[in-house]
Amino acid sequence: MFFLQTQAGTTSAEQKAFIFEKRPLLKELIEKYGNLSLKDFAIANLKNLPAASPERQEEFLRSFNKIVASRLGTAKADEVAVQLNAYYGASSADHHGTLNSSLPTSANLMLATAAAELNDPVLKNVVVLSCSSVSLNNEDYPRGLLFHSAKNDSYELQKLSILPSNSHSSLVYGFRPYNLEEIVKIEKALREKLRNGEVSTAEADQLFAVLTEIYKKPEILSAPSLCDQFTQINAELWQKIFKNEPQAKSLIYVELETLVTELLLENHLQSASLIHKLIFDPNHATLLDALTAAMEEFLRQGNLATHLFWWVNPEKNTRTKLQRKDGQLCTEDGRFSLPFTPEAVAQALREKALMPNLLLIYTVVHLYYGFNCLGGFNQMHYLHAMKEVYNRAGADAEPCQANSTLYNYGLNTLFLETDRPALNLDLLLHGTGKTLAEAQEALGKITLANAFESNWPIIYTLLCNETT
C-alpha–C-alpha distance, residues 267 and 262, integer Å: 8
Q: How is residue 327 annotated by DSSP?
A: T
> What is the rounded average pLDDT of the residues 124-135?
96
Tell me whether residue 139 is in a domain.
Answer: yes
The amino acid present at 291, given as its one-letter code, is L
Q: What is the pLDDT of residues 406-433, one digit of tens each?
A: 999 988 888 888 778 889 999 999 988 8
Are the beta carbons of 136 and 172 closer than 8 angstroms? yes
What's the pLDDT at 81?
Answer: 97
C-alpha–C-alpha distance, residues 392 and 390, integer Å: 6
Decide the pairing of beta strands 250-255 and 125-130.
parallel
pLDDT exceeds cutoff 70 at 7: no
Tell me whether residue 85 is in a domain.
Answer: yes
> Which residue range forms the structural domain that includes residue 17?
1-304+357-468
- What's the full length of the chain, in residues? 468
Tell me whether residue 319 is in a domain.
Answer: no
Average pLDDT taken over every residue of the chain: 93
| Closest by CA position to 188, among listed 153, 217, 160 | 160
For every residue of 101-156, DSSP letters joined together read: SHHHHHHHHHHHHHHHHHT-TT--EEEEEEB--SBTTSTT-TTEEEEEEEETTEEE
What's the pLDDT at 221?
Answer: 98
The alpha-carbon radius of gyration of the chain (Å, integer) is 22
Confidence of residue 468 (pLDDT cuts 50, 70, 90): low
Buried-state track 213-249, b at ≥16 Cβ within 10 A, e below 16? ebbebeebeebebbbbbbbbbbbbbbeebbeebeebb
C-alpha–C-alpha distance, residues 312 and 114, integer Å: 38
What's the pLDDT at 34?
Answer: 96
Tell me whether residue 315 is in a domain.
Answer: no
Tell me whether residue 313 is in a domain.
Answer: no
Tell me whether residue 352 is in a domain.
Answer: no
Q: What is the pLDDT of residues 145-202, one digit of tens each?
A: 999 999 888 899 999 999 998 898 999 999 999 999 999 999 999 999 999 999 999 9
What's the pLDDT at 5?
Answer: 47
C-alpha–C-alpha distance, residues 301 and 199, integer Å: 37
Tell me whether residue 324 is in a domain.
Answer: no
pLDDT exceeds cutoff 60 at 226: yes
Sign of CA dihedral 10, 14, 15, 19: positive
| HEC letters along 243-276 | CCCHHHCEEEEEEHHHHHHHHHHHHCCCCCCHHH
Q: What is the pLDDT of residues 200-210, one digit of tens each?
A: 999 999 999 99
Continuous H helices in 73-101: 74-86
What total of structural domains would you count in the chain? 1
| Closest by CA position to 358, among listed 399, 313, 298 | 298
Tell me whether residue 326 is in a domain.
Answer: no
For every residue of 32-54, DSSP letters joined together read: HHTTSBHHHHHHHHHH------H
What's the pLDDT at 9?
Answer: 55
Write the CA distances from 81 to 124, 125, 127, 259, 413, integer angstroms.
11, 10, 11, 14, 29
Q: What is the pLDDT of residues 12-39, one digit of tens each?
A: 888 899 999 999 999 999 999 999 999 9
